[in-house]
A and B are shown apart, each in its own frame.
Chain A
Amino acid sequence: MKALRLTLLRIWLPILIVAVWWFASSGSTSVYFPPLSEILGAVGSDWLGPYFVQHLLPSIGKFLAGYLIAVVLGVAIGLAIGMNQIARAITDPIVQFLRSLPPPTILPVGILLFGIGPSMNIFVIVFGSVWATLLNTADGVRSVDLQVRDMARSYRLTTLERIRHVVLPSAAPQIFAGMRTSLQIAIILIVVSEMVGATSGIGYYVLKSQQSFKVVDTWAGTIVLGILGYLATLVFLLVEKRVLSWHAGMRANDNVE
């Protein structure tokens, strides 16, 4: 009952907005605001049709590859930096410099190095989104409780055991916060990088349709992008909830006492 009410509370506004859009645009003859029925028709016939393989799957593939590489790199390097003071001192100026570059700045360099295509798109996503995960991981690893460290040392846990059972879980809430920021940046960058340097993908398609005045297609692509970003966040939150269930449980418990 409570779940149903919550669901209703969450979906009534989106439904209302879609309904208003649908009816307000139904007789539209404006070039720029085609009827929603036409846009959704294009979503159904194109994006669930030929574009699914031609544009959607490549975008999802590049996005997943770029994001996963960024997360693995971010956690691995963040772990090394967080656990080792010398590594931190050596890398800090470089990290601070690189992460201060606005990600789109790297686009021209990416095109120079990788040309137009998937490698360049993935490179840009990795480069732009790795920092949030990296810095959060380093921070989380550094702030592992002193007594927990003492415990791990006194029971002579191996380095691998310490990383796997103590350091990473302890830093996990912060790592996930970083990964979530990385996710948002990665979604932005897949679109931007496809707009300037790709021959397929949603970003490429949306910009091309706009330049050739296929307004319905531009709207349709934009909606597909929105749905894609929303689904990615949803999947992320489900994974986070599962991995950090202990954290939520512990916090709920603290509030009770």
Chain B
Amino acid sequence: MSSDTIRTTRIGETLLSTHELQVSYGRGESEVRILDGVDLAVRAGEFVCVVGPSGSGKTTLLRCVSGLQAPTGGSTVFEGVEVTEPPKKMAVVFQDYSRSLLPWMRVAANVELPLRKLFPKAERQRRVEAALASVGLGGKGHLYPWQLSGGMQQRVAIARGLAYQPDVLLMDEPFAAVDAQTRIDLEDLVLRVRDEYDMTVLFVTHDIDEAVYLADRVVVLSGAPTVVAEDIAVDLPRPRDQLATKALPRYAELRNRVFSLIQQAKSHAMIDQD
């Protein structure tokens, strides 16, 4: 049922899609199935949020999509090519900024690192400066990451993704480790730079409000073994605004829909465990 609704959204311009993606660990009786055939599609220019209860394999899904992990079954297709290794036109912003930025490199060098083999020096510098300015860190390139606050460090990680100018930016619970205030700022920042850089984003989160606020489409995962529970189009007007958007009745409806799906998933998961 749910796979049918996805198929209809998968028109010619699909950029990234997974097909019956499966991941399991162990064999025989001790086999633990994490992903049980996940189908999702992201079209060019879309902002898609994947939301699911904790333990639903969100990070596993993202690792498969980004080519960091081989699935045990099924496949990911990006720009018409099956993903077997991290694709060139894809960038990832990881959950833990303190472990994805290199503490021995200054901020600018961190952002520049993936560009070294791709562009001449002048082009790299232009991109680094532009990306840092976009995330509000212009003039901070000479600092080390550990001299910045958590929120600023994650902005550096986002700037690194921007400077790389990928066709799709994957984000794995990027704001899970920052405080609520910073989180709100970063959400709006992501929406802004996404327009500025005209990017496609696949954003994984466990935060329902965040998912509905950011996305064009929310893909709700079931509990493990995980499938897509529902694929919900978010028909909220843009640009989004923390106050106005969240005051809309439609926002509350969508939020409640996602919430009840996740509650269902959680109770199913609990029955499965018993």
Contacts and interface: CB of A to CB of B under 8 A. Distances in A.
The answer to whether A and B come from one shared complex is: yes
- Interface centre among B104, B113, B144, by most chain A C-beta atoms within 10 angstroms, is B104
Contacts of B67: 154
A151 B117 CA distance: 16
B102 A148 contact: yes
A156 interface: yes
Interface string B168-201: 0000000000000000000000000000000000
A249 B144 contact: yes
A147 B100 contact: yes
Given A147-B100, A156-B86, 6 more contacts: A153-B86, A155-B113, A155-B114, A170-B104, A253-B147, A254-B146
A249 B102 contact: no
Contacts of A254: 146
A220 B70 CA distance: 67
A247 interface: yes
A158 interface: yes
A250 interface: yes
A35 B104 CA distance: 52
Nearest to A145: B99
B47 interface: no
B91 interface: yes
Contacts of B94: 147, 150-151
- Interface of B, helix, strand, loop or mixed by DSSP: loop
B70 to A, nearest CB: 13
B103 interface: yes
Contact of A250 (B95, B99, B103): B103
A246 B99 contact: no
A155 B144 contact: no
Interface of B: 63, 66-68, 86, 88, 90-92, 94-96, 99-100, 102-105, 113-114, 116-117, 144, 146-147, 160, 164
A73 interface: no
A169 B104 contact: yes
Contacts of A153: 68, 86
Contacts of A154: 66-68, 86, 90-92
A44 to B, nearest CB: 44
Nearest to A173: B104
B85 to A, nearest CB: 8
The 10 closest A-B pairs by CB, nearest first: A155-B114, A169-B104, A147-B99, A246-B104, A250-B146, A154-B92, A154-B86, A151-B100, A253-B146, A250-B103
Interface of A: 145, 147-148, 150-151, 153-158, 161, 165-166, 169-170, 172, 246-247, 249-250, 253-254
A249 B91 CA distance: 29
B86 A161 contact: no
6 contacts: A150-B92, A151-B94, A153-B86, A154-B66, A156-B86, A165-B113
A151 B146 contact: no
A172 B94 CA distance: 24
Nearest to A155: B114
Contacts of A250: 103, 144, 146
A222 B84 CA distance: 64
Contacts of A165: 102, 105, 113
Contacts of A170: 102, 104
B114 A157 contact: yes
A172 B104 contact: yes
Nearest to A151: B100
Contacts of B68: 150, 153-154
Contacts of B147: 249, 253
B144 A166 contact: no
B104 A247 contact: yes
Nearest to B118: A156
Given A150-B94, A155-B91, A161 B113 contact: yes
- Interface centre among B88, B113, B164, by most chain A C-beta atoms within 10 angstroms, is B113
B128 to A, nearest CB: 14
A147 B105 CA distance: 16
A161 to B, nearest CB: 7
Contacts of A247: 103-104
B23 to A, nearest CB: 16
